Amino acid sequence: MLRRLMFVVLVLGLRPVIAQESPTEGLKIEPVAVGPFAARVVWPLSGTEKPDLPVWHTFGPRQIASQGYRYDFNRALDIQCPTGTPIHSLADGEVRIAGKHPSYADQVVQVKHYRPSSGDKCGDAGCWYTTFRHLSEVSVKVGDAVKAGDVVGRSGANETGFEYCKFDIRDGGLFQRFAIHPLCVLPYADSGAPKITIDSVNASKTATAVAVTATCPGDEPDLVRVEVAVFDGAKELGRRSYDMNEWNRAFTPEKDGTKILDQQLVHHVNAEPGRFRAGQTLYELTLVFDDLPVVADKRRLIVRAKAIDARGNASTEVERKASR
């Protein structure tokens, strides 16, 4: 394990990962199918389909500037706004939580939304939920029916005094493990697929380690998935992926909170997000996969990678051979 961490630091110049890799035995990564959602979904600040940009922090790996650039995995969108800004329901639904709740430090509103053609019942497919946190005021009560664009409360600030709107979208369950990238749901002008580069390919006798960097526009931080495949010539030997929705579902157990994904190194993937906040031109995420298959003859080793966004747009697949 120590050797793996040293490799990550040396190859990418990353900050040392202090915590050891989280135990992931028995936690299976499975595909996460999102939706269907409502016919009309709006943004929480505008109350319309006009995006509330720029986003301060997006869904997935991030560094928190106010906490010494501490790493964590964000399950929400964070949008800076003055305290007291009206917060609107994203879609038609029913208020499930309003005000103080033992699971949250501040006032919160959670709205339950029904699937299209569900007859206002969750049914076997389950409902989807929006959760607004750090509210200074709450304008609804439990059981209220709300429409898309209705005001449910007013924004507040977190424990550091940062004023913003923080909200997540949970698909098919109440807990944080059901949170998905909100841009899988919210309307926005999609300019196309993310970009990806293969930074390094290093092969040993026991594993192949690959570092890749995916980027997307800072005002469109919709990266969701990165895929890496190893080939022995034309033969594919193995493929790994890092999918934010899938990893949150797999590695955020209901009784374990956020502990696993708040470490950078999880399940043989080290996540190193760039220092991102509103106004930056690029959102950047570097990933190091350290347990890819071995190719006996390095001259035949080929790695291919691609990045995919919340709309399913895939980048052009890039290719690189082993470092000599």
Residues 117 and 180 in one domain: yes
Residues 15 and 80 in one domain: no
Place of tokens 């399950």: 75
Distance CA 128, CA 126 (A): 7
Residues 156 and 234 in one domain: no
**What CATH number is attached to the domain comprising 78?**
2.70.70.10
Q: Tens digits of per-residue pLDDT, 105-126?
A: 899 999 999 998 888 788 767 8
Percentage of residues in the chain having pLDDT higher than 90: 74
CB 229 within 8 A of CB 238: yes
**175: how many CB neighbours lie within 10 A of its CB?**
14
**22: how many CB neighbours lie within 10 A of its CB?**
16
pLDDT at 103: 86
Distance CA 40, CA 90 (A): 8
In a domain, 240, yes or no: yes
Distance CA 160, CA 158 (A): 5
CB 170 within 8 A of CB 112: no
Q: Residues near 68 by Cβ (< 8 Å), separated by ≥ 6?
A: none
- Domain count across the chain: 2
CB 266 within 8 A of CB 260: yes
Residues 160 and 227 in one domain: no
In a domain, 170, yes or no: yes
Residues 20 and 72 in one domain: no
Distance in angstroms between the alpha carbons of the first and the last residue of the chain: 24
Q: Residues near 289 by Cβ (< 8 Å), separated by ≥ 6?
A: 209, 210, 211, 212, 228, 240, 242, 268, 269
Q: Is residue 18 over pLDDT 50?
A: no
DSSP, collapsed to helix, strand or coil, labels residue 111 as strand
pLDDT at 256: 57
Residues 148 and 227 in one domain: no
Distance CA 56, CA 52 (A): 10
Q: Which helix (H) or strand (E) holds 253?
A: none
pTM of model > 0.85? yes
Instruction: Name residue 260's amino acid.
Output: I
Distance CA 52, CA 219 (A): 10
- Owning domain of residue 301: 2-30+190-321
Q: What are phi and psi of 151, to 5 degrees?
A: -75, 125
pLDDT at 23: 57
Q: How far is CA 24 from CA 3, 239, 249, 261, 265, in A?
A: 19, 19, 13, 11, 11
Q: Tens digits of per-residue pLDDT, 268-287?
A: 999 999 998 888 899 999 99
In a domain, 296, yes or no: yes
Q: Is residue 166 over pLDDT 60?
A: yes
Distance CA 96, CA 85 (A): 21
